[in-house]
A and B are shown apart, each in its own frame.
Chain A
């Protein structure tokens, strides 16, 4: 019988008498990738915090390498060769990759001098062994998000971690980078490392994980092999009830519906070229492309928070000037930006103040805000989107990711837009909240609006959209009908590897 790397049973934790986790249980064998699934509030974060020594359990046992442990701090966990890689990366941007990998454990020579040559050599060797395409001498600030992620992993490996916890490692990286990450995971597990993998992107779990463990509402639910479950059943286990069936009508094209958004020949320098598309009332159109395909830059330019130097954007016939989001909002456009913390929300402000932000002008008379009307608006939105919070005076920073995203959507809908632009509308939120946001977008379109949605998750677009525009190297390659397409086709069409395409074409000729 193989010894488990991690064996935890009956782990419970309460905060002020409120149970956050009851009977938490997982087992992780060497060489295994375990998908830890559950929505926000499922208790998986509490569980992982206990595993990492950030919290102390009230009850239960945790065995690492067969030995019962009781971590008092993250340092204890590190000493037992557990490392965590979170979605919130913490590199020192002005230091090189090598310096970040060996931060706090710099090789020394002489007195207290750092042996930079040895550090760089060691880092290069490590990165080469892991097949990570990162220049150890470059500053972190110059690396892409995916490369930053790889450096974090290299750091964990350099500490001889045998148990790797990855919390949403792909939330900020694209398909291609994800594959690099997965290759790295496969090499690590082949050498006996165990990985606990947390991701809201279910497709990834099916690709990389061997087993799953599901938590829901602070309780352990079940475990099993990934090969013995399909996507639908996994989702149902996570959200605890049956999935809403896909409404086929959503996003379907009505050729006689009025054109709401008309983009003609939009270009900006090297980012995107000559892109034209139209959205009719009732349509949900997707944009699919890899990182660097210009998809986000295009959406930002349409809305006005990014630059464009050629082309015209019309909203219901009104020409929108470049870089004037205020005019776009006034004309009836709203945007769910890619990164809610960076460009979407004022985390320090209350839910109410965030929701009312784009419509303060219309809520005010002589510059004074009609606070009564503001309250009515925010209360209505919170109810409509079922934002779970104790009150709308609560700081947005205190909300879960899913609820924060709902506040973003609420803020967008507050201005009663006709066209909604969404860049990664479900990034980093749990399956239940995802389904709710899908339904909101469908309702919005069914109510006569139009939605332009960009996502790096192909299944999301296939489920949501009528047609999907495929972006590649800053150009709109072609439109596909979602109903007649699948994930493989999308990825293939958007893929940058020209040699592969040519190779396949050759095969066809034979």
Chain B
């Protein structure tokens, strides 16, 4: 009811405004695409290796882990929360999975997976319960979990890598389905399922409702605390999946694995256009966000830029991408 909005809403041509909305929509989704394409053009011109099949499988495989984490974090952020613990939870879950897979007397692969998923589930449940039911700010809860899960990882592994993993387990890092590396298949499946849930199910709609206006969601009979808690569980479970893939790819569970991965995941979500205040955003954006980060890492490696500079460049690109987004929304 501000005076501005009322005057801008004056009798317009409905068809025209519909067209405007669609055009704006395309532009909004394309903003991230434009960044991505620009990045690719620059890198293609700078390095002959960039646009090769091998390099691209590499980029996407590296993106898979961050992508899966970021999809989980998107759920949390869409519902108005934040999850800083995914890197540590991933490491803990990877270690748990690995501990069941050490040769020669490894368990059935299903047991390793189940133990890992259960660990991620419990971590998410603790995050969710403390945030949703005890009303502790998500930032604090998940910061605590970031530290606690890392500590547990060191305790569980005794500070040493867990190696000598079984072949079935290593398949998650190095195997392929129809010629496509397993991590990429995993990312695709996770994306498809999570996208469907967000778009077509009651739960997905409730995630947007809670993030958009929690009080209104309560008025409408949404069990908001349950929805909030569930988003952390989604994030925890996906972190465990990412942990299995990461461990298998490194052929060992390292206690210090995945440090600062939560920051890349959050960066992917934000670059992908999801609002940090919740209620607005898409999973496809997040996947592109993860791809952009993966491409930056890869490209800077190809260009032989030292890893010190890489961090600076990455920071600039993250802020720049969001700045572009903010500017376009005005």
Contacts and interface: CB of A to CB of B under 8 A. Distances in A.
Interface in A315-359: 325-326, 328-330, 335, 337, 342-349, 353, 357-358
A309 interface: no
Interface stretch (B7-15, B64-72, B107-115, B295-303): B7-15
Contact of A345 (B3, B205, B213, B218): B213
Contact of A398 (B3, B9, B216, B222): B9
A369 B207 CA distance: 14
Contact of B220 (A45, A87, A357, A393): A357
Interface residues of A, number: 57
Contacts of B12: 15-16, 18, 390
Contacts of B279: 346, 348-349
Contact of B221 (A329, A349, A367, A401): A329
B206 A360 contact: yes
A343 B200 contact: no
Contacts of A223: none
Interface stretch (A23-31, A48-56, A58-66): A48-56
- Which of B4, B213, B222 has the most CB atoms of chain A within a 10 A radius of its CB? B213
B17 A343 contact: no
Contacts of A167: 3
B215 A342 contact: yes
A54 B221 contact: no
Contacts of A357: 205, 209, 217, 220-222
Given A55-B7, A343-B215, A343-B219, 12 more contacts: A20-B10, A41-B11, A88-B1, A168-B1, A328-B221, A345-B213, A346-B216, A348-B279, A349-B208, A353-B205, A360-B206, A364-B202
A54 B3 contact: yes
Contacts of B15: 390
Contacts of B1: 87-88, 168, 400-401, 428
Contacts of A48: 3
Interface residues on B, range: 35 or more
Contacts of A391: 14, 18
Interface in A349-394: 349, 353, 357-358, 360-361, 364, 367-369, 371, 390-391, 393-394
A49 B215 contact: no
Contacts of A466: none
Nearest to B2: A88
B218 A305 contact: yes
Nearest to A198: B3
A86 interface: yes
B7 A20 contact: yes
Given A86-B2, A305-B218, A348-B280, A18 B10 contact: yes
A57 interface: no
Contact of B202 (A325, A361, A393): A361
A411 interface: yes
Contacts of B215: 305, 342-343
Report, nearest first, the 4 A-B pairs whose CB atoms are least far apart: A390-B14, A326-B221, A346-B212, A401-B1
A218 interface: yes
Contacts of A347: 212-213
A46 interface: yes
B201 A367 contact: yes
